Amino acid sequence: MKMNRILTVLGLSTIFSVAANAQYSDVPPKESPMKMKPEMTEIWEPEVKVITPGKLPWDAPSDAIVLFDGKNLDNWVSQKDPKKPAPWKIINNEYMEVVPGSGGIQTKMKFGDCQLHIEWSAPDVVESVGQGRGNSGVFLQNRYEIQILDSYNNRTYANGQAGSVYKDHPPLVNAMKSPLEWNTYDIIYRAPRFKPDGRLDSPATVTVLHNGVLVQNNVTINGLTLYIGLHNYPEAHGEDVISLQDHGNKTQFKNIWIRRL
């Protein structure tokens, strides 16, 4: 199309059309193509928003929502009964610990696309093996689980170990620290999109750094995390809470912040 859209909008397309053949050469150029100027590929607007990054890599930047800073569980509620406070324990004003049997906890706020930073540690006392050791999980939109497990010297199925998208994608490597150390997850999450009629439009994807090491590289999440059966997207949903799983082990969490994308 050789018609300037603005002309069309102004109702000048006729004039332009008539003039078209006169105005522009329709024969191939004899010389080399017209050279651009450097300024032509500069983008000045909109101006990029300035934020203040954290002082240390694990610190929340200025545009993050701090979900847990060690002091209280005010941003969380019980999964069994979201009207009740989160039933987990705060220790040393520094971290929280799963109270086995109390049920999972979830944020009060809902999220979609996000960058999530979370630190966690396997229970100090090593018990059981495989899926029985230090099992918990971060559920994005309350549905899609990044597995938490004590995968330090503890083999289980690859798509069930720490850093896996549970029962979906094994981590690229096992970057686990010992139960006496803290692990970090830096998660870049794109929520699934649904069409107005409820069908899946595009699946969720996720990138995960475990202790700074890439373990999920923009993988497609194949659906709702299920213990049994094939994953899929049974129904449309919007933003939703982030939840942490009580799987009966005293997993610990600290320094949780999130940025909406």
Span 216-235, contacts to its own copies by CB under 8 A: 217-218, 220, 224-231
Closest separation in Å from C-beta 145 to its own copies: 5
Q: Nearest approach, Cβ of 90 to its own copies (angstroms)?
A: 21
Stretch that binds its own copies, among 3-11, 68-76, 88-96 (CB under 8 A): 3-11
Which residues make beta-bridge pairs with 119?
184, 254
Q: With CB under 8 A as the contact rule, which of the stretches 9-17, 69-77, 88-96 interacts with its own copies?
A: 9-17
> Position 169: which residue type?
H
Interface pick for its own copies out of 160, 179, 192, 223 (rule CB under 8 A):
160
Cβ distance to its own copies smaller for residue 90 or 159: 159
Question: Closer to its own copies at the Cβ: 35 or 92?
Answer: 35
Tokens representing 99?
A: 């109270």
Cβ neighbors of 257 (< 8 A, separation 6 or more) are: 60, 64, 65, 66, 67, 116, 117
Q: Binders of its own copies among 74-133, rule CB under 8 A? A: 79-80, 100-104, 115, 117, 128-133
**Is residue 33 within the footprint of its own copies (CB under 8 A)?**
yes
Residue corresponding to tokens 């990044």: 146
- If binding is defined by CB under 8 A, does position 17 make contact with its own copies? yes
| Residue 5 lies near its own copies (rule: CB under 8 A) | yes
| 214 interacts with its own copies by CB under 8 A | yes
* 24 near its own copies (CB under 8 A): yes
Question: Distance (Å, rounded) from C-alpha 137 to C-alpha 158?
Answer: 15
The one-letter amino acid code at 39 reads E
CB 236 within 8 A of CB 98: no
The verdict on 69 binding its own copies (CB under 8 A) reads no
Stretch that binds its own copies, among 68-76, 88-96, 134-142 (CB under 8 A): 134-142
Out of 77, 122, 167, 242, the only residue in the binding site for its own copies (CB under 8 A) is: 167
Q: Return the number of the residue (70 or 132) whose C-beta is nearest its own copies.
A: 132
Q: What's the length of the chain? A: 261
List 111's β-bridge partners, or say none: 240
Among the listed residues 109, 126, 159, 200, the single contact to its own copies using CB under 8 A: 159
What is the biggest distance separating any 2 CA atoms in the chain, rounded to whole angstroms?
84
Question: In 4-27, which positions are buried (b, 16+ CB within 10 angstroms) versus exposed (e)?
Answer: eeeeeeeeeeeebeeeeeeeeeee
Tokens of 149: 């497990």
Interaction of residue 34 with its own copies, rule CB under 8 A: yes
Is 245 a binding residue for its own copies by CB under 8 A? The answer is yes
Distance from C-alpha of 61 to C-alpha of 255, rounded to nearest angstrom: 12
48 near its own copies (CB under 8 A): yes
The token duo for 75 is 């941003």
**17 φ/ψ angles, rounded to the nearest 5 degrees:** -60, -45
Element (H, E) at 15: helix 13-23
